[in-house]
Amino acid sequence: MRKGNYEVLLKRHAFLRALQRQVHPGLIEATIETGRMVRFGKDRVKFVKRFREFTASCVDEIVGHTIRIVTIEKNRR
């Protein structure tokens, strides 16, 4: 998957957390493609997307020309 000029990699830890928090992989993809990008720290990025019942966040780090998804968060509304 790509986002702009960056290649997006999903770490195993993030995938396991998504399954544990009942976030479907399709929702992760939708969050990255259409969510808003919030930059924090030196090399950290967070993609945030609001859905009907919850808000999904993908916490990422930028390394070179890749964005590595470190963990997935799910917040109830």
Beta-carbon contacts of residue 9 (< 8 Å; ≥ 6 apart): 66, 67, 68, 69
% the chain with pLDDT above 70? 100
pLDDT in tens, 66-77: 999 999 999 987
Which residues have C-beta within 8 Å of that of residue 3, sequence separation ≥ 6?
32, 33, 67
Domain ranges, residue 29: 2-76
Q: Is the pTM of this model over 0.85?
A: no
| 2-15 pLDDT tens trace | 888 889 999 999 99
How many domains would you assign to the chain?
Answer: 1
Say which CATH number the domain at 72 has: 3.30.2310
**Residues counted in the chain:** 77
How confident is the model over 9-45, as pLDDT tens digits? 999 999 999 999 999 999 999 999 999 999 988 889 9
